[in-house]
Structure 1
Amino acid sequence: MIKINLLPHREEKRKELKNKFYTLMALAALIGAVILILGGLYFSSQVSAQNERNAFITKENLLLDEKIKEVATLKQEIDALKARQEAVEDLQSDRNQPVFMMNELVKLSPEGLHLTLIKQDGQRISIKGYAQSHAVVGIFMNELNASQWMSKPEIIQNKATVIGKDREAKRVIEFDMNVGIRRPRELEAAAASAASAPKANAQATKKP
């Protein structure tokens, strides 16, 4: 009977399997390390690119802030220039206001009205006088209210009184009022607003 000892072959087979296993483990570890390194490099490059984009956005925002400041400063300068221009225009127009005021009051005063005081304080005019009746004062108020040069007439006092003595005594209405006077630029603004109102109404009507 022939006996064959297979133990050495089994040991060699086990050693070979172990070596293959260790080799595969080492290879897997190496591949994993390579993947980790490559992944780290990729994410690092992504983070670096994002940081560059963030830095670019921050820089552009700073530049935009500077431009906004320049625009704000320019707007303030323009507003200041407009204010100065309006002040100069108002000074020029205010020189002619007394003429316009007197012409307008003469034109608007109805019969039976006698003015005793006309005093201007800024853009308000104090008016005192006598009228034949309350109706005459009412007509004068309506005329002032309809005038393009005058605005917001207001009665301060309106009472019956007697002027003169004996046979010359007359019963009249003594009144005291004030009224605003408009500047030319205010008239232009009112005219522009009145012209734009029909267009706005027309557009609103067209909308469903």
Structure 2
Amino acid sequence: MILINLLPHREERRKRRKVAYFAGLGAAAVFGLAVVGLWYLILLQLTSTQQDRNAFLGAEIKKLEIQIKDIATLKAEIESLKARQKAVEDLQTDRNIPVHVLNELVKQTPEGVYLTGVKQDGQVLSVAGLAQTNERVSELLRNTANNSEWLVKPELIEIRATPAAKDRKRMFDFSMRLTIKRPQDKAAAEAAPAGKAASSPAAAAAKKA
């Protein structure tokens, strides 16, 4: 016996396909929403972690800035202490300079020259005196320029002949200016040739190379 289905099977098949299609769309939408929600949660976690790191770095940077300010203050205090120490050392060193200067004047003053006034202003020494001849003054200038350890850069300011008196010959009144070489200047001047001598072999080797 042959059975014939008279129901609208095509419409039923379409309905089943539509239901399956929409069910698939719904499942895909749910899966997509789940993925988006999971990614959003991950982003929130990463953002929170980065914010915590930024806050930690900001706090550490503030600590470093405070430490840098403290270091700068300490450096300034150290430089101030060094300046004070140098000033005290200079004062202690300069205390003996007048003795050396007077000894040097006695040593370098030739015969026929008489000093009548000596005045010190810092490192500048003003000297006034009388000389029997111009040549004696020139000799004093040469001595202080070439042979003195404490007096340098002699400069003649004025020289003039004084009226001759009955009991003495005509004299020459003169004034001059000198520079006092301080002990630290002497040490620096002595260290400079040593530094040049030490660097000259290296310079020669560089030229050969």
Please, which of 142, 156, 164 is the counterpart of residue 139 of structure 1?
142
The match for 1:95 is 95
Q: Which amino acid aligns with 1:91?
A: L
Q: Which runs of 5+ in 2 are unaligned?
A: none
Shift of 1:202: 5.1
Contact 1:154 1:179 in 2 (8 A): yes
Amino acid at match of 2:177: N
What's the CA shift for 1:96? 1.2
Letter of the 2:139 partner, please give it: V
What SS class does the counterpart of residue 11 from structure 1 fall into?
A: helix
Per-residue deviation, residues 37-84 of structure 1 (Å, max 9, x unmatched):
222223223322322222222222211112112212212222222222
Q: Does residue 179 of structure 2 align to residue 176 of structure 1? A: no
- The equivalent residue for 1:25 is 25
User: Which sections of structure 1, spanning at least 5 residues, go unmatched?
Assistant: none
* Aligned position for 1:149: 150
Q: Does 1:40 align with 2:43?
A: no
Does the residue aligned with 1:127 lie in a helix, a strand or coil? Answer: strand
Task: For residue 122 of structure 1, report the CA deviation from its aligned partner.
Answer: 2.8
Q: Distance in 1 between matches of 2:81 and 2:20?
A: 90
What is the CA–CA distance in structure 1 between the aligned matches of 2:190 and 2:72, rounded to whole Å?
Answer: 30
Residue in structure 2 matched with residue 52 of structure 1 by the alignment: 52
CA distance in 1, matches of 2:154, 2:141: 11
Say if 2:154 and 2:178, in contact at 8 Å, map to a contact too: yes
**TM-score (ref. length: structure 2):** 0.75
Asked if the contact 1:110–1:139 (Cα under 8 Å) also holds between the matched residues in 2, the reply is: no
TM-score (norm 1): 0.75
> Percent identity over the alignment?
38
Q: CA deviation at 1:169?
A: 3.4
| RMSD of aligned residue pairs (Cα, Å) | 3.2
Counterparts in 2 of 1:189 and 1:79: CA distance versus 1, 3 Å? farther
User: Structure 1 15/135 Cα, relative in aligned 2: closer, same or farther at 3 Å?
Assistant: same
